[in-house]
Structure 1
Amino acid sequence: MGSDSWGSKIAPVLHLEEVAEGAVTILPKRMSVRGFDRYFSSRTLDNNRRNIWFAEFWEDNFHCKLSRHALKKGSHVKKCTNRERIGQDSAYEQEGKVQFVIDAVYAMGHALHAMHRDLCPGRVGLCPRMDPVDGTQLLKYIRSVNFSGIAGNPVTFNENGDAPGRYDIYQYQLRNGSAEYKVIGSWTDHLHLRIERMQWPGSGQQLPRSICSLPCQPGERKKTVKGMPCCWHCEPCTGYQYQVDRYTCKTCPYDMRPTENRTGCRPIPIIKLEWDSPWAVLPLFLAVVGIAATLFVVVTFVRYNDTPIVKASGRELSYVLLAGIFLCYATTFLMIAEPDLGTCSLRRIFLGLGMSISYAALLTKTNRIYRIFEQGKRSVSAPRFISPASQLAITFSLISLQLLGICVWFVVDPSHSVVDFQDQRTLDPRFARGVLKCDISDLSLICLLGYSMLLMVTCTVYAIKTRGVPETFNEAKPIGFTMYTTCIVWLAFIPIFFGTSQSADKLYIQTTTLTVSVSLSASVSLGMLYMPKVYIILFHPEQNVPKRKRSLKAVVTAATMSNKFTQKGNLRPNGEAKSELCENLEAPVLATKQTYVTYTNHAI
């Protein structure tokens, strides 16, 4: 766009025609004043001395100098001869503002005439009221004039002293190698524009878009350009930001994310481990199969409760161990169920309790075997606390420590569910999720399972110490194999569980890993300690009967004992003190020095 100082002049676009193509300029609407060209072209240095600027115009128009002293040595500028003529020795075109200068002079004259008529009525010349002339009053009269100008247009002024705007609108166009300013419209109180006469670079008729900045899209804020308040850059709201107004982006609350067009916020979807999730299939399968197998073992043991195999396994602790195994499997359902106050409370109680019950029973068994053999090396008297009642008391004492810790935990930090929006707060808010879970941190989980791990390690130590026990001696070796395998399972669990703490699928991986590890531990105990017995009970019942040889073996072994031991034995009715390793012992008789004392019908 060009102002009226550009208008339709050639000089501004000289040698820049291609760049200026399509430029739109304005020029005040004007008409050539008749007689002015004849008058002005007759002006010379001699007849126009009253105009003090005419000499300067003369030098500039004819490219000469009036004074010889102004000529520089070696310069090609000539001396003016005063014989030059305007329009003959130079190009001439009437200045477009001549019309307005003439109208301005007439406006002054009309204003003075009206002022003299009002202030000096009937007087010729100035009266005292106009001597001197008051400029403020004269300005009021100038603004009030209304006459027909030299070009025939009415000359008036508005309340601000401005004349009505009348403009011609031009466009600089190139056609067939020639350039011209073409009138495409005008302005007289309102716009008259002839779009069909406009032409753009490449001779196109399609209007180009000529704006400083494009409007910003939804979700974008305006960033103004320094020094150009009407121009801006569009910056998208990023991350979890949304557009508050045209110039501001703001971060959504922690539990929300921006909408698709980032003009507001919406709640972040909340997820949890579903029952039909692929991550839950394996844990649930192991749990269902494990519970069914456990119930099958319990039913079998109850039905054959008085048979030698069941008695020899230590019925009381066997049922306690089976209860712990059942709870280990059942924990899977609590871990997958929707977290709420009740579910989270049950998780705290049973997640570590099932393993504590299992390992407490196994620890009591291995400790009993170890004490019996250690006591037998030093004395023929039986060790203390090896009766079933004592074993149950020891087992429940160990379990009570776990329950006590859980109670303290409930008092210090009551159980509740939370929605964690940090675990899956991705860089792209479209994939952000809130995780519904129980308020159990990794540290709390370590403390919860720590006691069970301690029982497991202690039981493993005793299993190692009793590895030299004869193969037919009750459950020492199966317990040992069980503990070794369990340790391997939990050693594999630790890096998988804690190594995925930064994963986006942390909820699924850790829950699946934990439940599978607990179920595998229970399956190892169930498979190694009970399945061989169930197999013998159901498929080889001939091995599950008392042996008559046992009485003869006891007599022969008793005969090798010292008299002192025999006397002590005679004090017990029915020969209650017998030298037998267990009720199902079938190996050759041990040497006299390796005889151990137990109570009849009390399985080791």
Structure 2
Amino acid sequence: MYLSLLRFTFKVYERLLAMIFAIEEIQWDQKLLPNITLGYVIYDSCTTAAGVLEGTMRLLTGQRKAIPNYHCNTFSSAVAVIGETFSSTSIPMARLLGLYKFPQISYGATVTILSDKTQFPSFLRTFPSGLYQSIGIAHLVLYFGWAWVGLLSDSSDYGLQGSLTVKDELVKAGACIAFSETIPAVYSEMKILSISETIRKSSANVIVIYSIDTDVYPVMEMIARNNVTGKVWVASNDWAQSYLFAKNEFLRTLQGTFGIVVRRGNIPGFNEFIYRLNPYINPDDVFLKIFWELVFDCKLQIVDNINKNLTKESKICKGDEKLEGMKMDFFKLADLRTTYNVYNALYAVAHALHDMISCRHGEGPFMNNTCAVLQNFEPWQLLHYIRNTHFMNKNGEEVFFDVHGDPPALFGIVNWQVTPENTFWYPEVGRFESSADNQKLAVDVPAILWNKGHGKIPQSVCSESCSAGYRKAPQTGQPVCCFSCVMCFQGEISNQTDSIACMKCPKDGWPNERQDKCIKKVIEFLSYEEPLGITLTTVSIFLVMATSVILTIFLKSHHTPVVKANNQELSYMLLLSLMLCFLCSLIFIGHPRHVTCMFRQVAFGIIFTLSISCVLAKTIVVVIAFNANKPNSNLRKYSGPRLPKILVMLCTMFQVIICISWLIVSPPFQDENTTSITGRIIIECNEGLPVAFWCMLFYMGLLATVSLIVAFLSRNLPDSFNEAKFITFSMLVFISVWMSFIPAYLSTQGKHMVVVEIFAIVSSGAGLLLCIFLPKCYIILLRPHMNTKEYLMGKGVFKNEKY
């Protein structure tokens, strides 16, 4: 007993005094338990399973000697057990008491398995289950964004189960465990050194330690000796405020440590009760004697087994020493936590007894609505009332037990800070409340003092965060928290840090340069408002007007030989078709629509075919006209006006058939091209059936080639009947333009494809207009003397005479 008290004197005695104070307070409360006297028996378990079981058996037996299944009513009137402190000793005690349904209320055991009412039917506690403590630790770690965490636990059920729950909660939330170590139950210097080295070398800056203070002390001593600093330690309740670490050697190492502790409470009148203590007033209190001598550093002159031998050097207690006014650092009267649980446990039993004696006959909770009899009740009957007790204590807090025998899970979060006196104090910097379906964490971050005195929240990650515009790429063989940052692919963005995957922009959007947001794509088409569109429109209209002027000149001079030569009707038709060619180029400009897409290529193909057919017909007319004048020529029968018309109609009709088939099988349509040019939506016409487009161009090229060959072969015919030279040159221009068009068209995108095609239409049409009709206009307007029948018939002679 004495050795045990020397080890635990202050914190154990503080709880013992709280129990005695609560019993005395209850005795004075005439409303709670009137005419009932409460007593108590104290057993020292020495924190061993054997000590716990022996004390429990003595309590149940009612005698000094433990006899199983024996109960002496004369000596034992115990109704409930308050204790034990530790989970390791509470479990065997709860198993034994559970056999008899004997109420047990622990004020310190936290292991989760004790909530199992199948195994421990009579166990209750005023200290929250370790499950909620572990959840609170995990929430605290995640609150600061620490995703790379080390775990250290002792080898008891308390440490192993608690750390496992913390691990599960962290992994579930996406954090990773850098390492997980267990402190051996039997001291091993080699294992302690290994754990210390693991912590020192680890890149994890946050270490969660789920252990009792005596087990973790050797590890922290080794770490302090190795001068390991900069780590953030998160302590479970059992060492969150331990006096063992209040030494200079731990100040640098443990500064900034977080501890999750049971909620703090106030016991009204408890301070005054302690101040009234005096060993001379209570001579039978052996605990008070030891406490008094330790506090005042003197020896009591009370003859007993403890200090019957006084030496001459012994300082004798005078008996008038006063506790009031002393700086009692050995008691944490302003920070009552586990002691507060002892106080509530006593009141839970008292209120259960009050409810039991208040039972009315016929309204009881037991068989046939009976009530328990105070003078002769069974332990399970009182257990029923304790389970269902629900009252407000003197602090105005609710005290009750849930279906698992657990109290409300209320925790405080303390921060280890160094005082000017080079010791630790533990200000509360947060609170955590938890239930089966709700967790609430509140932290006062400015009040926190971090390790090394930094005011900034330390980081603990395996890999630095990926900024927006990047995604996380896992590293082979590493936890998910260890990753590389990879830029999103083209067309994708990530708009938050640590994105697992990039997302595609909508069809009308495109990533900005940083690839962290989508911006609206620029819509592109050849419009009438832009300079290029204005230029092409102006040129096309100018050529239409120029063609109209030429047609007007020809109409006014229709009776002249120059106009009549080579079939004036074909000339009119060619001029009209060229005018339509220039006008059809305007369909390619502006916002493409479904209708314009369907007809612009068709209109261009048919009209241009008509133009080339007219040129071909004019060339053949020249050949036939020259050869028909020869004697016995078979071509004379084709020299009439019908052949050119039939030829133009047949050549054009074949192109019409190609275009109509194109429109029936797969017509062109408006399309939005979002892939060809980065960051742009090209509004264009999809040709539908590209083969039909190229067939149309091939047919036009075939007619132009035939016209070129025929014109070239007839270039040496007499000038009076012949414009073959001009046709040859015009066909060379035409074919050159369209041969250049093909590679240029295939190598461009967007509106520039349209520009290339318009340029080919305009330039080739202008080539036909200028090469064929400009020389004739020159004669009609500037050389009227050459526009006579006589000149044409004797052109060479007349010319030589004049010049």
With normalisation by structure 1, the TM-score equals 0.61
Q: Match for residue 554 of structure 2?
A: 301
Which of 719, 722, 727 is equivalent to 1:479? 727
Provide the rounded CA distance (Å) in 2 between the counterparts of 1:435 and 1:458. 37
1:356·1:402 contact (CA, 8 Å) conserved in 2?
A: yes
Q: Match for residue 618 of structure 2?
A: 365
Provide the rounded CA distance (Å) in 1 between the counterparts of 2:583 and 2:349. 112
Map 1:183-194 to 2 at 5 A: 183-184=427-428
In structure 2, the CA distance between the partners of 1:211 and 1:477, relative to structure 1 (3 Å rule), is closer
**SS in structure 2 of the partner of residue 530 of structure 1:** helix
Which of 10, 22, 35 is equivalent to 2:256? 22
Q: Match for residue 402 of structure 1?
A: 655
Q: Match for residue 62 of structure 1?
A: none
Query: In the TM superposition, what whole-angstrom CA distance separates every residue of 1:33-86 from its partner, at most 9, and x where no partner exists?
Result: 87637448999xxxxxxxxxxxxxxxxxxxxxxxxxxxxxxxxxxxxxxxxxxx
Map 1:182-261 to 2 at 5 A: 182-184=426-428, 199-201=449-451, 203=453, 239=491, 257=509
Task: Please say if 1:531 is aligned against 2:769.
Answer: no
In structure 2, the CA distance between the partners of 1:543 and 1:154, relative to structure 1 (3 Å rule), is closer
Q: Which amino acid aligns with 1:25?
A: G
Provide the rounded CA distance (Å) in 2 between the counterparts of 1:292 and 1:145. 105
In structure 2, the CA distance between the partners of 1:98 and 1:339, relative to structure 1 (3 Å rule), is closer
1:268·1:434 contact (CA, 8 Å) conserved in 2?
A: no
Which of 165, 172, 186 is equivalent to 2:416? 172
Provide the rounded CA distance (Å) in 1 between the counterparts of 2:583 and 2:485. 58
In structure 2, the CA distance between the partners of 1:313 and 1:163, relative to structure 1 (3 Å rule), is closer
Which of 744, 748, 759 is equivalent to 1:516? 759
Provide the rounded CA distance (Å) in 1 between the counterparts of 2:555 and 2:390. 125
Larger Rg: 1
Report the Cα offset of residue 139 of structure 1: 2.3
Report the Cα offset of residue 294 of structure 1: 0.9
1:546·1:584 contact (CA, 8 Å) conserved in 2?
A: yes
Provide the rounded CA distance (Å) in 2 between the counterparts of 1:451 and 1:264. 49
Task: Please say if 1:9 is aligned against 2:242.
Answer: yes
Q: Match for residue 693 of structure 2?
A: 445
Provide the rounded CA distance (Å) in 2 between the counterparts of 1:119 and 1:99. 31
Report the Cα offset of residue 340 of structure 1: 4.1
2:712·2:724 contact (CA, 8 Å) conserved in 1?
A: no
In structure 2, the CA distance between the partners of 1:5 and 1:400, relative to structure 1 (3 Å rule), is same
Map 1:355-504 to 2 at 5 A: 355-371=608-624, 382-413=635-666, 417-418=669-670, 420-421=671-672, 423-425=673-675, 431-433=679-681, 435=683, 437=685, 440-470=688-718, 473-500=721-748, 503=749
**SS in structure 2 of the partner of residue 469 of structure 1:** coil
Provide the rounded CA distance (Å) in 2 between the counterparts of 1:350 and 1:310. 28
Q: Match for residue 547 of structure 1?
A: 790
Query: In the TM superposition, what whole-angstrom CA distance separates every residue of 1:15-41 from its partner, at most 9, and x where no partner exists?
Result: 664453222325455989876374489
Provide the rounded CA distance (Å) in 1 between the counterparts of 2:708 and 2:743. 21
Q: Which amino acid aligns with 1:22?
A: G
Provide the rounded CA distance (Å) in 2 between the counterparts of 1:511 and 1:270. 15
Report the Cα offset of residue 495 of structure 1: 0.5
Q: Match for residue 36 of structure 1?
A: 287
Provide the rounded CA distance (Å) in 2 between the counterparts of 1:326 and 1:144. 102
Task: Please say if 1:139 is aligned against 2:373.
Answer: no
Report the Cα offset of residue 367 of structure 1: 2.8
In structure 2, the CA distance between the partners of 1:373 and 1:17, relative to structure 1 (3 Å rule), is farther
Provide the rounded CA distance (Å) in 2 between the counterparts of 1:294 and 1:432. 38
Q: Which amino acid aligns with 1:542?
A: H
Q: Match for residue 101 of structure 2?
A: none
Query: In the TM superposition, what whole-angstrom CA distance separates every residue of 1:438-495 from its partner, at most 9, and x where no partner exists?
Result: 7555433223333222110111121232244355651111111111121111111110
Where structure 2 has 5 or more consecutive residues not aligned to the other structure, the ranges are 1-233, 278-285, 295-328, 358-370, 434-439, 799-803
Provide the rounded CA distance (Å) in 2 between the counterparts of 1:451 and 1:197. 86
Where structure 1 has 5 or more consecutive residues not aligned to the other structure, the ranges are 44-91, 549-582, 590-604
Q: Which amino acid aligns with 2:618?
A: K
Query: In the TM superposition, what whole-angstrom CA distance separates every residue of 1:294-337 from its partner, at most 9, and x where no partner exists?
Result: 11111111111112222224312211221221121111122225
Report the Cα offset of residue 281 of structure 1: 2.7
Provide the rounded CA distance (Å) in 1 between the counterparts of 2:653 and 2:442. 98
In structure 2, the CA distance between the partners of 1:21 and 1:98, relative to structure 1 (3 Å rule), is closer
Pick 1 or 2: higher relative contact order, CA cutoff 8 A, min separation 6. Answer: 1
Provide the rounded CA distance (Å) in 1 between the counterparts of 2:656 and 2:422. 102
1:107·1:145 contact (CA, 8 Å) conserved in 2?
A: no
1:328·1:354 contact (CA, 8 Å) conserved in 2?
A: yes
Provide the rounded CA distance (Å) in 2 between the counterparts of 1:116 and 1:292. 114
Provide the rounded CA distance (Å) in 1 between the counterparts of 2:389 and 2:574. 118
1:170·1:184 contact (CA, 8 Å) conserved in 2?
A: yes
With normalisation by structure 2, the TM-score equals 0.48
Query: In the TM superposition, what whole-angstrom CA distance separates every residue of 1:507-551 from its partner, at most 9, and x where no partner exists?
Result: x11211111111111111111111111112111212222328xxx
Query: In the TM superposition, what whole-angstrom CA distance separates every residue of 1:342-378 from its partner, at most 9, and x where no partner exists?
Result: 5345425421122212211221232344456677899
Provide the rounded CA distance (Å) in 1 between the counterparts of 2:765 and 2:588. 16
2:469·2:487 contact (CA, 8 Å) conserved in 1?
A: yes
Identical residues among aligned pairs (%): 22
1:242·1:252 contact (CA, 8 Å) conserved in 2?
A: no
Q: Match for residue 66 of structure 1?
A: none
**SS in structure 1 of the partner of residue 610 of structure 2:** helix
Q: Which amino acid aligns with 2:714?
A: T
How many corresponding residue pairs? 478
Provide the rounded CA distance (Å) in 1 between the counterparts of 2:661 and 2:349. 108
Provide the rounded CA distance (Å) in 2 between the counterparts of 1:277 and 1:434. 15
Q: Which amino acid aligns with 2:254?
A: A
Report the Cα offset of residue 172 of structure 1: 1.2
Report the Cα offset of residue 2 of structure 1: 2.8
In structure 2, the CA distance between the partners of 1:434 and 1:364, relative to structure 1 (3 Å rule), is closer
